């Protein structure tokens, strides 16, 4: 009854805690809500800004304006998701550069194809995110070796 019993028969490998520096430990729910709102609204806002700079009238004056806005929302989500995935993988520069280059290109493409209907607008906006998704598909580097 008085024999000592060891509880740690297996020794686990030590954890590397150096990679956790600078990361938040507490999740902020408003941060995710803000990111979701920005990913939904960046393309419609850029489209309307482009229309205002070109001197055109807004989509609210058209009978099917809500359909164009819904297509803009749906078309802007893929680029926002690709940039968010790049950011979360640790490629912050690639995410910012991709959004800075591909975002205005998507807005210009949607402005050029406005008259062809909402499906064409959503297609060109989603196709503009293809280079960012190709960056996400690249394999990760581990320990200096390409895997």
Per-residue model confidence as pLDDT tens digits over 78-135: 999 999 999 888 888 999 999 999 999 999 998 888 888 888 988 998 899 999 999 8
Most confidently predicted of 7-11, 19-23, 78-82, 134-138: 78-82
Q: What is the pLDDT of residue 78?
A: 92
- Which range of residues forms the domain containing residue 102? 35-138
**Whether pLDDT at 70 is above 80:** yes
Residue 36 φ then ψ, to 5° = -65, -40
Higher pLDDT, 57 or 19: 57
Q: What is the pLDDT of residue 32?
A: 79
pLDDT higher at 61 or 31: 31
Residue 95 falls inside a structural domain = yes
If one counts the domains in the chain, the total is 1
Contact of 81 with 132, CB cutoff 8 Å: no
For residues 20-40, give the mean pLDDT: 73
- Sign, Cα dihedral of 83, 85, 87, 90: negative
Q: Establish if 30 belongs to a structural domain.
A: no
Would residue 61 count as lying in a domain? yes
Residues 59, 73 contacting (CB under 8 angstroms): no
Q: Residue 21 pLDDT more than 80?
A: no
Residue 7 belongs to some domain of the structure: no
Query: Taking Cα atoms as reference points, which of 143, 134, 130 lies closest to residue 102?
Result: 130
Let me know if residue 23 belongs to a domain.
Answer: no
The model's confidence at residue 59, banded by pLDDT at 50, 70 and 90, is low
Mean pLDDT of the chain: 80
- Spatial CA neighbour of 46 closest among 116, 107, 125: 107
Per-residue pLDDT band for 36 (boundaries 50, 70, 90) equals confident
């Amino acid at each position: 009854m008085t024999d000592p019993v060891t509880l740690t028969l297996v020794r686990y490998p030590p954890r590397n805690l150096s990679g956790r520096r600078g990361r938040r430990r507490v999740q902020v729910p408003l941060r995710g809500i803000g990111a979701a709102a920005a990913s939904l609204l960046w393309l419609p806002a850029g489209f309307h800004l482009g229309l205002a700079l070109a001197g055109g009238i807004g989509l609210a004056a058209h009978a099917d304006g809500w359909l164009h806005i819904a297509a803009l929302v749906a078309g802007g989500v893929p680029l926002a998701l690709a940039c968010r995935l790049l950011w979360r993988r640790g490629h912050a520069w690639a995410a910012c550069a991709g959004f800075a280059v591909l975002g205005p290109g998507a807005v210009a493409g949607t402005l050029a194809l406005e008259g062809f209907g909402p499906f064409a607008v959503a297609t060109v906006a989603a196709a503009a995110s293809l280079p960012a998704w190709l960056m996400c598909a690249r394999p990760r580097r581990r320990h200096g070796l390409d895997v």
